[in-house]
Structure 1
Amino acid sequence: MSTAIALLMTAVSPAFGSSHREAPNITESPKLDNTDVYAFRSYAPGRAGFVTLISNFQPFQEPGGGPNYFTMDPNALYEIMIDNNGDAVEDVTFQFRFQNTLQNGTGKVLTIGGKPLPIALRHIGQVTTDNDPELGERETYTLTRVTGDRRSGTAAAVTNSSGGGTSFAKPFDNVGNKTTPDYPAYAGQFIYDVTIPGCATQGRVFVGQREENFAVNLGPAFDLVNLVPIEGNIAQSQANQELIGNYNVTSLALEVPIACVTGTGNGVIGVWSSASLPQSRLLKPNPTFAAPDTQGGSFVQVSRLGMPLVNELVIGLPQKDLFNAVKPTADGALADYVTNPTFPAILQALFGSAAIAPTNFPRNDLVATFLTGIATLNQMSTVTASEMQRLNTGVTPTPQASQSPLGVVGDDLAGFPNGRRPGDDVVDIVLRVAMGRLCHPIPIAGMATQLGLCQASDAPSGLTAYTDGAPSSANATLNAFPYLNPPLRGAPRPQTQP
């Protein structure tokens, strides 16, 4: 092992994470913590005319974390925003609002010694159907499409294509095999065909618990980087996964016809997600199930996510909560973190001569990746520097079996940073891009192509194959909506979950 690599083993580095507990304030509100956003052309057979949007919340859900498990916050407003003309302002917003209801106002009741008493648990028997009588608490949600400003624009309810209802049910979390013997079949009942206002073709929605899909070797990164993140020095192994196979998340998933989100732009859309709470909260000394507190005032955004790893590895500690609170139109105030990033300098301090930080300032390659889109790939017709995922809906989706986990760097233009799919290994990609991979030619249609964002001489370490050793693969997830795997069960807990 070289001296430069050895230095890595003893130095301190920031931890990786897509957006899990990424800012001080959001650690206090895990139900509002937006962990991952995915935006991609649907690649399931026969669905290429759709865009799939997934926003995950509530990180580190321990599968056996009962008895109340992981409901969403009924006071919160969860949103997925789409900019389709490049002005960094939402043109289409999908809003989710949740409600928790006790059966008969009490939950399940047992008569004990002649006295009817609500039980302490959410269920008392097997739960296998929507609105199952054995489930004492039912969680439902509404979905609204807003055109224009998300607070003052034109709002219309998304309805169930079967019957026209406006209320959708969320499945009970995967408590275990005794409660729900066939959880995939149970959860499949909660995938709804929906009628979206202004859309000629039906879409689909699913909200529920899924297995965490973010591939990252998280623990060793916190432990003074107790790994060597270069191919050949650390083995690619599922044993390095810290989240996959251990935790669940809650997914808000939509499949929307492309024509309903592209508007009059050039087919590139910007996507980001957020969670907001009413401005004021007053705790009650006599709380009830329906009203444990009083909340009011305008909604205030407390969580925000577009591109992965931005708040973790790019935004400085004093501004992390601010980044979560502002809209993309305000990102110019934080642009220095992208044009003059600190993370590559940290890597150089750790690696020494084995990881020379790029010297092109401003870092136009990172500006293109995170703030403007790449001109030849996913830049909108109007360019406004702002942080969001940018997806060129005109790029043909790559079938699951042929996807490269390195996305564009791996000669797969349908992958990250052109949107983000479940199988894109964003940790490895972001590490390599941060160290100047786009200053060197990348393969496009099999040909080495120089993007012109910077020069190879600007990034001496740009071709180093950085990795955290936690591999990602599209083939490890579903090849159908909602793409992310069913959640890990709470019991029994085998070493290898199904």
Structure 2
Amino acid sequence: MKKTKIFLATAIAGIVTLVAIAADHIDAPAVQGGTSDITDFYAFQGENTSNIAFVANVQGLLGPGNDTQNATFDENVLIEFNIDNTGDSVEDLVIQAIPRDGKMYVFGPISPTQTGLNSTIASNAANQLSVDITAYGESAIVESSAGMMAFAGPRDDPFFMDFAQYGQIIAGNATSFNNPGADTFAGTNVLSVVVEVPKSMIGGTGTINTWVEAKRRQ
């Protein structure tokens, strides 16, 4: 139980840092307007407390209706969840998700063939599954295999930020956020990839660093 608490606290601390960096919502020049744009990353204990869930949201600011209905995962973009369970900030395990023909294929957790910016899809991983990508407005489709579960499809953007007030603070016209603030992302959607795995597949000492990357096929 003590290890579980340390594990979760470490994961959440990592999330706070990663959200601040990765929650760009299409304002990062390198990915502006691109299908590889990561809006947010979350990791948390599953409803089954023996599991941990990883969530990557991409393609933010999708309006309701046609914007979301027409949005699709890019088949040339790999979503890769990185897990460091030795404390050296280098991925020891990866979970990879890549779409193809209306399905999301998930591989891992598995040791990567190489670390860093380049990846090879682990199509021979012992742990793998595929799930139909849920269409906009439809009930969530979830598939499971060997204790893993996965979902892929549009979801309401969970990120809360009052950008108008933030702009006022940056401009020196205000010193704090309003309470309550205005949710800039209310009514907008993202494309989500959710993978839940047993903690026993993660291993390590009970503490992890975790981050997500979107990697485009070269």
Instruction: Check whether TM > 0.5.
Output: yes
Question: % of aligned pairs identical?
Answer: 25
Instruction: Supply the RMSD in Å over aligned alpha carbons.
Output: 2.6
**Aligned mates of 1:153, 1:52 — CA distance in 2:** 21
Amino acid at match of 1:268: T
For residues 252 and 229 of structure 1, the distance between their equivalents in structure 2, rounded to whole angstroms, comes to: 36
d(CA) in 1 for partners of 2:71, 2:100: 13
Match of 1:168 among 118, 127, 131: 131
How big is each residue's C-alpha offset from its partner over 1:269-321, in whole Å with a ceiling of 9 and x where there is no partner? 11111111123xxxxxxxxxxxxxxxxxxxxxxxxxxxxxxxxxxxxxxxxxx
Question: How many Å separate the matches in 1 of 2:62 and 2:125?
Answer: 33
Distance in 2 (CA, whole Å) between partners of 1:229 and 1:207 is 39
Aligned to 2:11: none
* Alignment-derived partner of residue 23 in structure 1: 28
Instruction: Return closer, same or farther for 1:220/1:25 CA change in 2, 3 Å cut-off.
Output: same
Q: Distance in 1 between matches of 2:121 and 2:33?
A: 31
Amino acid at match of 1:214: F
Which residue is 2:50 aligned to? 49
Instruction: Choose from 278, 287, 307 the match for 2:217.
Output: 278
Relative distance call for 1:67 and 1:209 in structure 2 (3 A) is closer
Letter in 2 for 1:55: A
Distance 1:194 1:61, change over 3 A: same
**Cα separation, partners in 2 of 1:242 and 1:53, compared to 1, 3 Å:** same
How is 1:389-404 mapped onto 2 (pairs within 5 angstroms)? none
Q: 1:241 aligns with which of 183, 191, 214?
A: 183
CA distance in 1, matches of 2:86, 2:200: 14
In structure 2, what residue type is equivalent to 1:242?
T
Checking the alignment, whether the CA contact within 8 Å between 1:220 and 1:226 is kept in structure 2 is no
Among candidates 81, 89, 104, match of residue 141 of structure 1 = 104
Structure 2 distance, partners of 1:226, 1:203, is: 48
1:250 aligns with 191
3-state SS in 2 of match to 1:156? coil
AA matched with 1:271: T
Aligned-partner Cα distance in 2 for 1:41–1:246: 27
Cα distance in 2 for partners of 1:57, 1:228 equals: 31
Which of the numbers 99, 110, 125 marks the counterpart of 1:156?
125
Q: Tell me the secondary structure at the aligned position of residue 96 of structure 1.
A: strand
2 CA distance for matches of 1:53 and 1:78? 11
How much does 1:20 deviate?
A: 1.5
Work out the CA distance in 2 between the residues paired with 1:85 and 1:215. 32
State how 1:402-413 maps to structure 2 within 5 Å: none
TM-score, structure 2 normalization: 0.77
Counterpart of 1:24, as a letter, is P
Q: Say yes or no: does 1:205 pair with 2:150.
A: yes
**2-structure distance, mates of 1:17, 1:90:** 18
The alignment partner of 1:86 has SS state of coil
CA drift at 1:173: 1.4
Q: Say whether 1:228 aligns with 2:170.
A: no
2:184 counterpart letter in structure 1? E
Distance, in Å, in 2 between the alignment partners of 1:33 and 1:170 is: 18
Q: Give 1:147's aligned amino acid.
A: S
Partner amino acid, structure 1, of 2:156: E
Q: Does 2:159 align with 1:214?
A: yes
**TM-score after normalising by structure 1:** 0.35
State the Cα distance separating 1:229 from its structure 2 match.
Answer: 4.6
Q: Is the partner of 2:125 in helix, strand or coil?
A: strand
Return the alpha-carbon distance in structure 1 between the equivalents of residues 40 and 56 of structure 2.
6
Unaligned runs of 5+ in 1: 1-15, 101-138, 160-165, 175-182, 196-201, 280-498
**CA 87–67 in structure 1, closer or farther in 2 if over 3 Å, else same:** closer
Measured after TM superposition, the shift of residue 19 of structure 1 is: 2.3
On the 8 A contact 1:79/1:95 being kept in 2, the answer is yes
1:194 aligned partner = 145
Are the structure 2 counterparts of residues 274 and 208 from structure 1 closer, same or farther at C-alpha, using a change threshold of 3 Å? Answer: same
* Number of matched pairs: 191
Tell whether 2:42 aligns with 1:38: yes
Q: 1:68 to 1:206 in 2, by over 3 A?
A: closer
2:65 — aligned with what?
Answer: 64
Distance 1:57 1:99 in 2: 16
**2:105 is aligned with what amino acid?**
T
Matches within 5 A, 1:352-371: none
Cα distance in 2, alignment partners of residues 17 and 94 from structure 1: 18
Are the structure 2 counterparts of residues 212 and 270 from structure 1 closer, same or farther at C-alpha, using a change threshold of 3 Å? same
- 1:203 CA displacement: 2.1
Q: Where in structure 2 are the equivalents of 1:312-461 lying within 5 Å?
A: none
Long gaps (5+) in structure 2 = 1-20
